[in-house]
Amino acid sequence: MPLAEIVIDVVIRTRRKTVALVVERDGRLVVRAPLRFPQAQIDAFVSSHSDWVRSRQALVRKNYRPPHQFAAGESFWYLGQQYPLVIVEQKRPALSLEGEFRLARAAQPRACEAFEAWYRAQARPLIEERVAHFAGLTGLRGKKIRLSSARTRWGSCSSRGTLSFTWRLVMAPPEAIDYVVVHELCHLKHPNHSPAFWAAVAAVMPGYKVQRAWLKKRGRDLSLD
Ligand SMILES: [Zn+2]
């Protein structure tokens, strides 16, 4: 008995020469095809790649989270844990964390800003403390610490010695935050990803690969989007 047929969600025809299959973040299958490529051949192509499509869809659906609406019951990250959101009537503070995120109903229309302000307020002292801790261990000291809004990088280190960290980092577990701090501090000495750089990271944090893998796997979910 054949398995259930694969559903093609969208076919996009352009002046390309080959057929390509794309499984979107929400699991939809998009087929990119040449302008006059017959539908029967698209179907045949898809069914000959059905194992790949199914495993890809299973993987992305497992990790998929719909965009945040800031409604009661949604969960938000802090230090590697997810906490549910509840809406409360009291007006202040706009947002607090007491085993659950408590958002004032009056602040709900600007919930994203309230969350960002809250994360930033946590991020500054926490990251400064971890930078000071590892500076003490390694003797590596930056000139300045900056909080960024970067979406695609957790931290960076400028040639002038400014260490930047995105406020989103406080959504990650403490050990992953430490890894990013150590990573950027080590860039003060090694402004590259050479073997010497990774050896310096490993000297401070022998298990850093676990943290790096965690950020790679879950990092996309650490967002207010
Ligand atoms: Zn780096």
Give the span between the Cα atoms of 173 and 8, in whole angstroms: 38
The predicted pLDDT at position 184 comes to 97
Looking at residues 31-47, what average pLDDT do you find?
Answer: 94
Distance 184 CA to ligand 1 centre (A): 6
Taking residue 67's Cβ as centre, other Cβ atoms within 10 Å add up to 8
Distance 192 CA to ligand 1 centre (A): 7
Distance 51 CA to ligand 1 centre (A): 36
Taking the mean position of all CA atoms in its chain, how far away is CA 2? Answer: 37
In the predicted model, is pLDDT for residue 3 greater than 80? no
Distance 121 CA to ligand 1 centre (A): 25
Distance 153 CA to ligand 1 centre (A): 9
122 and 104 Cβ atoms separated by less than 8 Å:
no
In the predicted model, is pLDDT for residue 76 greater than 90? yes
Q: Which long-range contacts (CB under 8 A, 24 or more apart) does 37-44 make?
A: 37/13, 39/11, 42/8, 42/11, 43/8
Q: Is the pTM of this model over 0.85?
A: no
pLDDT tens per residue across span 4-21: 678 999 999 999 999 999
**H helical segments located in 64-110:** none
* Phi and psi angles of residue 22, each rounded to the nearest 5 degrees, phi first: -125, 125
In the predicted model, is pLDDT for residue 2 greater than 80? no
Which runs of E-coded beta strand occur in 28-175? 29-34, 75-78, 81-88, 95-97, 101-104, 144-148, 155-157, 162-166
| Domain parsing of the chain, residue ranges | 10-63, 75-110, 115-221
Domain 115-221 has CATH 3.40.640.10: no
The predicted pLDDT at position 152 comes to 84
pLDDT tens per residue across span 51-64: 999 999 998 888 78
Looking at residues 96-113, what average pLDDT do you find?
Answer: 96
Lowest model confidence (mean pLDDT) among 59-68, 154-163, 175-184: 59-68
